[in-house]
Amino acid sequence: MIKKAVLPVAGLGTRFLPATKASPKEMLPILDKPIIQYAVEEAQRVGIEDFLFITGKHKRAIEDHFDKAYELEERLKSAGKLQLLEKINCFENLNFAYIRQKQPKGLGDAILYAKPFVNNEPFVVILSDDVIDPEYSVLSDMIEIYNRTHSTVIALEEVPWSDVSRYGIVAGKKVEDYYLIEDLIEKPEQSQSPSNLAIIGRYILTPQIFKYLGKLEPGKGGEIQLTDALKMLLNETQIYGYIIKGKRYDAGEKLGYLKTIFEFALKDSEIASDFKAFLKERITNL
Ligand code: G1P
């Protein structure tokens, strides 16, 4: 059983400045929930109970969000607002731990902070910028592959060639429902890219990764890259890639964030029909 999830949330969120000057980008809402809550709920649905957030400056709001809010709960209770009470009370059975990354040295460096928490068990890494349609669970498919192979599993998606320089890219061989990874490269130039198969922010890692993360020199962008550690891990073991079947949204940049909100609004039972009517009217007036 995989019981632990690591959520790196130390990024500065510069694409959303000034909104992210004093508050975390992970707390930007998609309708009525912050982005980070979708990540936690996604992990919760596959039975994960222990969460470690790798945080940085200005990330306190994330801790507060997952904390118990006694005063608010009392107020909602006495006002008889039980549905709202349920909405803020859904993390009771989960455990949250937080550790600060000392310097912004990249995703690979952030994951290294999880070593004591992981305690020699496999774990999930979720990059919350990648929001995946909650109707589908890529983690449950990935865990199924992990249970068969006991090896690292990474989520993949075919992206337009013009976008390869925004992702970690893999080369691999398709076998049954997964890819056997043969090479990985962080954010290559389009002309250097071995494929258009991009790494999406869901990983099942084993403690083997720490050995390599600890040895890495800075890579792309002068940062310690998880992709580079995975490439080194290939010398020791197989890595499996799994193409995500659900829709994935990049809520880490403005247009992607807006698209995510639109898609969620179109599925929201409370506002979908009014929102559709608004959109239809608005489009005719473009
Ligand atoms: C990170 C990883 C990259 C991966 C991407 C997925 O990059 O380094 O390999 O493709 O997440 O979202 P970031 O988007 O944090 O720059």
**Per-residue pLDDT reduced to its tens digit, 141-171:** 999 999 999 999 999 999 999 999 999 999 9
Q: According to the model, what pLDDT value does residue 58 have?
A: 83
CA of 258 to the centre of ligand 1 (A): 19
- Give the closest residue (by CA) to ligand 1 atom 3: 168
| Contact status, residue 185 vs residue 199, Cβ threshold 8 Å | no
CA-to-CA distance for 20 and 28, rounded, in angstroms? 9
Q: According to the model, what pLDDT value does residue 134 have?
A: 92
Residue 116, burial from CB neighbour count under 10 angstroms (0-12, 13-18, 19+): exposed
Q: Looking at ligand 1, which atom is closest to the CA of residue 198?
A: 10
| Contact status, residue 240 vs residue 152, Cβ threshold 8 Å | yes
Give yes or no for residue 226 having a pLDDT over 90: yes
Q: According to the model, what pLDDT value does residue 86 have?
A: 86
Q: According to the model, what pLDDT value does residue 142 have?
A: 97
CA of 279 to the centre of ligand 1 (A): 32
CA-to-CA distance for 153 and 35, rounded, in angstroms? 23
Give yes or no for residue 201 having a pLDDT over 90: yes
Is the Cβ atom of 8 under 6 angstroms away from ligand 1? no
Give yes or no for residue 126 having a pLDDT over 90: yes
Q: According to the model, what pLDDT value does residue 12 have?
A: 85
Q: Are strands 239-243 and 178-186 parallel, antiparallel or unpaired?
A: antiparallel
| Contact status, residue 2 vs residue 124, Cβ threshold 8 Å | yes
Q: According to the model, what pLDDT value does residue 89 have?
A: 81
Angle of CA points 159, 161, 163, to nearest 5°? 65
* Start-to-end Cα distance in the chain: 51
Domain ranges for the chain:
4-252
The CATH number of 4-252 is 3.90.550.10
The rounded mean pLDDT for the chain is 95
Residue 56, burial from CB neighbour count under 10 angstroms (0-12, 13-18, 19+): middle
